[in-house]
Structure formats: structure tokens, C-alpha cells
């Protein structure tokens, strides 16, 4: 059997010895490309970031793929090396040379953006992805939110990023964006399968010891730090059946294989609550790889998306294989979680779509996502509260609240929702309801926060939300309420 190929810095190379658990980072360094480093092995420092050629979407309507390419930065320390088969990868070494620097490298050098240099190749790749981002009008500093510098200081790095102008017309990587993205190589190698379609994926997942992998932002950490191993990894991130996004008048249906960055761009603000979540969900590097289905599938009680999806009355579409046929069933998200990291999902079953009803947005619509964590960005929640309310004539007429970090599962704050209905949207009227919210769930003491702190933050979340909406003025709506 021939070794699969990967286009690495413009040259086709055999993907030799790439069986799991080998990561893309370790494989790249084994080829002699040592610019990318391992700093944390869990996707927090960005020293390992590289560029992948991925499908671009237009962001209009349902955000259909355009048939062109976008250079996407991702953490090589988490990605299985076997997933690179058929793909195109650029490392910092493939952007420029010592005598002909890439514009990103030149700006960093001229503005003193590197001292020890350990983190610099990762910054270069993240900055390059932003440099080539379709429709870029100015530099988004959040593009570097997943890159940690320990000695240079961020001012010269940001100055270098902000000095970048549009790519020149003759820039080969910019020209590459106008061509189609690479099609991944399907087939089975030792310990890894990239199936042709959903039916093949579901049949494989029914095998003992098989596990689905998409962005590997959770599985990669388990493998690197916890030594987790699977008999077979089934790559589902490029399955066409999981990469749809349909926007209708009554509902939005999101394919579980879309990354959070893709969902954010394709929704284009149609669900403001999710926009608030995306802004606080890990880093851009992680959001470029993590999928919406993966965040649900891990069933973590501290995942950021489930509280928001609960507040939006999400329904999951689950699929399994039955004699070669794909069989689907629907489960409301509120009924999906059954215990710590446990769900109603059956062996071999996969989340394939997430369905969200569209609530008409008006002057009385209040949505917000409050994330309480030790760091403002790129951190795990101690408490997460997602709000979706309607306030008419100063009175709450509808309430849906999703909570994370206060029980063994994400949950709806049912007692608080009931207590809110018919209440005046004023501090004095809401104070008793804040006490109800503080008593929701079964918070625990751990290294992130005490149970008492978590309860206190729940109660404060309601009062904070009311204060923010009042400060914004009548009819201002909810969109500025979320950052913690």
C-alpha cells in the first residue's frame, strides 16, 4: 500500500509513520521542520501553530463553500498526523527565507517582535492566517489570542500585526486562496480511518474501540496528557453530511462537523447569543479546529456551548447505522445529558446536526452569555450562564436560562425561569429571583472555584444582566451584555 501524501510547504511528501497517537507536530519536527514547538501539548500556548488549506465560505445565506481556499491556523500539537493525508500544510519555514522574508516575518523582525524566538514561529503562522483572511479590513487582535509570549511582550508583536497591509497580487499564498481546497485522502491506515461518507463512518464507529475525531481539541489533550488511546480513530471533520448550515425563517440547522469559526462566520450574527459565546470560547486557534458537535459530544459540564444551546432550546439529530442504512432520531438537548460525561447517545451513534428555533428578535429580546473564569479569554469556565429572555412593557414574558459548571451536567435553570415570568425587570423585583438562581444546581469545591463562589456568581449574573440592559437604554437589546 502506498504511503499517503501531504503537500508540505509546497512539496508533496509521503506521510510516513503517521499512525496514531503521533501528532502532526511530532511528525513535522521529525521531518526536520523544528520551527513549530511543543509548549503545553494542550492547545493553550500556540507555539505549535501551522497553516492548513481549508475550504472558504462566503458567509451569505447559509454560508455555502465557495470552492476556494482559506489558510487556517491550528494547533499541530493536538491534530493527529494521520489527518494530514491529502492536505496542504505551511509551517513558518514555508512562508519566507532568511534572504526573502514573508511580510509577516519582516514586520516582526523590524519592530522587535521576537526575543528568545521560541514562540515566534507560532505567532508568524497565526498572523499569516489573519493576513490572508478573506475580506480582512483591519487586523483582528483576537487572531493571536491563542499565542503566548513569555519574554518579548505583546506591544511590538501587535504593532507588527497592525502594520500589515493587503497581500500583493503576486503573493503565491494569496493566489493559492483562489483555487479549490485539497480533498482529503479517504481510506484506512493503521489505527486511522477517513471514511468516504457518513454511512461508512457510522459503520466504523460501531466497531469496538472506535472513536470519532474532528478537530481533536479534546481528544488531543486526552492523548497527550492523559495517555488515552483508541483502537481506531474515525475522522469525521470533512464529511459533507456534517458540514451543512441551513437558515430558515423558523429554525437554523447546523452541521455538527462545522468548526466554531465556520459556524460563527456563516451565521453572520443571526443568533446573537452564540456570537457572545464564540468571543469567549478558548482562542481562535482552538475555534478553527473545534466543532460544534464535538463540544456537545464530550458532554463536559463546563463546556461553553451547551448552556447557550440549552437557552436556545436546541434539538440534536443523532444518527446510527442499521444494516448499512443511516437511521436518525431527535433528542432535545435538555434530555441529552444524563450524568457526568454521560448522555443518551448509544454506542456507535453520532451527533450529526443541531437544530435551533429562531426567536424573533425585538426591542424586548435580552440575550447574554456570562462566563466566569480566572482569565478573561482562553480559559475554562468556573460558571457559565446563558440568557434568552423577552421583556415586554417592563415585565418578563419568556425566560430560558442555561447553566454550566454548577452540576454534573449542563442544565436549564427551571426554578429561576418560572420565578422570572411576570416579574418586573427592576432590581427590587429581581432580588428574590437572584436568590432562586443562586440555589440552582449542585455546585462543588474544586481548584477553579468554591461551591459558595459559584452560587454567588449565579445570583449576581441576573442582577448584572438587568443592570447592563438598563444602562444600555430602552430598546438597546442584548448584544453588549456578554463579556465577563
Calculate the alpha carbon distances from 465 to 90, 152, 271, 277, 387 in Å. Answer: 44, 38, 18, 15, 9
pLDDT at position 135 is 87
Beta carbons of 217 and 295 less than 8 angstroms apart: no
Q: Is the pLDDT of residue 484 over 70?
A: no
The CATH number of 241-357 is 3.30.465.10
Q: Is the pLDDT of residue 369 over 90?
A: yes
Q: What is the pLDDT confidence band of residue 61, given thresholds at 50, 70 and 90? A: very low
CA neighbours within 13 Å on the CB side: how many for 90? 25
Instruction: For residues 30 and 43, give the distance between their C-alpha atoms in angstroms, rounded to a whole number.
Output: 20
Cβ neighbours, 10 Å, residue 167: 18
Beta carbons of 148 and 48 less than 8 angstroms apart: no
pTM, two decimal places = 0.93
Instruction: For residues 282 and 304, give the distance between their C-alpha atoms in angstroms, rounded to a whole number.
Output: 9
pLDDT at position 480 is 37
Percent of the residues in the chain that have a pLDDT greater than 90, as a whole number: 86
Mapped onto helix, strand or coil, the DSSP state of residue 300 is: coil
The CATH number of 5-176 is 3.10.20.30
Instruction: For residues 288 and 17, give the distance between their C-alpha atoms in angstroms, rounded to a whole number.
Output: 26
Domain ranges of the chain: 5-176, 241-357, 365-472
Tell me whether the CATH fold assigned to 5-176 matches the one assigned to 365-472: no
Per-residue pLDDT tens digits for 27-37: 999 999 999 99
Per-residue pLDDT tens digits for 115-135: 999 999 999 999 999 999 998
Calculate the alpha carbon distances from 240 to 86, 189, 236, 244, 255 in Å. Answer: 16, 21, 9, 7, 9
Q: To the nearest whole number, what is the mean pLDDT of the chain?
A: 93
- Superfamily, domain 365-472: CO dehydrogenase flavoprotein, C-terminal domain (3.30.390.50)
Per-residue pLDDT tens digits for 4-21: 999 999 999 999 999 999
Maximal CA-CA distance, the chain: 72
Instruction: For residues 360 and 99, give the distance between their C-alpha atoms in angstroms, rounded to a whole number.
Output: 57
Amino acid at each position: 500500500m502506498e504511503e499517503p501524501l501531504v503537500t508540505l510547504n509546497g512539496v508533496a511528501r509521503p506521510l510516513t509513520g503517521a499512525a496514531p497517537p503521533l501528532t502532526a507536530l511530532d511528525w513535522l519536527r521529525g521531518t526536520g521542520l523544528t520551527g513549530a514547538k511543543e509548549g503545553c501539548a494542550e492547545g493553550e500556548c500556540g507555539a505549535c501553530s501551522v497553516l492548513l488549506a481549508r475550504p472558504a465560505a462566503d458567509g451569505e445565506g447559509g454560508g455555502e463553500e465557495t470552492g476556494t481556499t482559506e489558510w487556517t491556523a491550528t494547533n499541530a500539537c493536538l491534530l493527529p498526523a494521520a489527518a494530514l493525508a491529502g492536505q496542504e500544510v505551511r509551517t513558518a519555514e514555508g512562508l519566507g527565507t532568511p534572504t526573502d522574508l514573508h511580510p509577516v516575518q519582516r514586520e516582526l523582525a523590524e519592530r522587535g517582535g521576537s526575543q528568545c524566538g521560541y514562540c515566534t514561529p507560532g505567532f508568524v503562522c497565526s498572523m499569516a492566517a489573519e493576513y490572508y483572511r478573506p475580506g480582512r479590513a483591519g487586523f483582528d487582535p483576537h487572531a493571536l489570542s491563542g499565542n503566548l509570549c513569555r519574554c518579548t511582550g505583546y506591544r511590538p508583536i501587535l504593532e507588527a500585526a497592525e502594520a500589515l497591509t493587503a497581500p500583493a497580487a503576486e503573493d503565491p499564498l494569496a493566489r493559492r486562496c483562489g483555487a479549490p481546497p485539497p480533498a482529503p485522502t479517504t481510506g484506512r491506515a493503521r489505527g486511522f480511518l477517513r471514511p468516504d461518507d457518513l454511512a461508512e463512518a457510522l459503520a466504523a464507529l460501531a466497531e469496538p474501540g472506535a472513536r470519532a475525531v474532528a478537530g481533536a481539541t479534546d481528544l488531543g489533550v486526552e492523548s497527550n496528557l492523559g495517555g488515552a488511546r483508541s483502537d481506531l480513530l474515525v475522522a469525521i471533520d470533512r464529511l459533507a453530511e456534517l458540514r451543512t448550515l441551513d437558515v430558515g425563517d423558523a429554525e437554523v440547522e447546523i452541521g455538527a462537523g462545522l468548526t466554531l469559526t465556520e459556524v460563527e462566520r456563516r451565521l453572520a450574527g443571526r443568533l446573537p447569543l452564540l456570537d457572545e459565546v464564540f468571543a469567549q470560547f478558548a482562542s481562535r486557534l482552538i475555534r478553527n479546529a473545534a466543532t460544534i458537535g464535538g463540544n456537545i459530544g464530550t458532554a463536559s459540564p463546563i463546556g461553553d456551548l451547551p448552556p447557550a444551546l440549552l437557552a436556545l432550546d436546541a434539538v440534536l439529530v443523532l444518527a446510527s447505522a442499521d444494516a448499512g442504512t443511516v437511521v436518525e432520531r431527535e433528542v432535545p438537548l435538555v434530555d441529552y445529558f444524563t450524568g457526568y460525561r454521560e448522555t443518551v447517545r448509544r454506542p456507535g451513534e453520532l451527533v450529526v446536526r443541531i437544530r435551533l428555533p429562531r426567536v424573533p428578535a425585538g426591542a424586548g429580546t435580552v440575550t447574554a452569555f456570562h462566563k466566569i473564569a480566572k482569565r478573561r479569554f482562553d480559559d475554562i469556565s468556573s460558571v457559565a450562564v446563558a440568557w434568552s429572555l423577552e421583556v415586554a412593557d417592563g415585565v418578563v414574558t419568556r425566560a430560558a436560562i442555561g447553566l454550566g459548571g454548577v452540576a454534573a451536567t449542563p442544565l436549564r435553570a427551571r426554578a429561576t425561569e418560572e420565578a422570572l415570568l411576570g416579574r418586573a425587570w427592576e432590581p427590587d423585583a429581581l432580588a428574590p429571583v437572584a436568590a432562586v438562581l443562586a440555589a440552582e444546581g449542585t455546585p462543588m469545591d474544586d481548584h477553579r472555584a468554591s461551591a459558595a463562589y459559584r452560587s454567588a456568581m449565579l445570583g449576581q449574573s441576573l442582577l448584572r444582566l438587568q443592570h447592563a440592559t438598563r444602562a444600555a437604554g430602552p430598546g438597546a437589546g442584548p448584544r453588549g451584555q456578554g463579556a465577563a
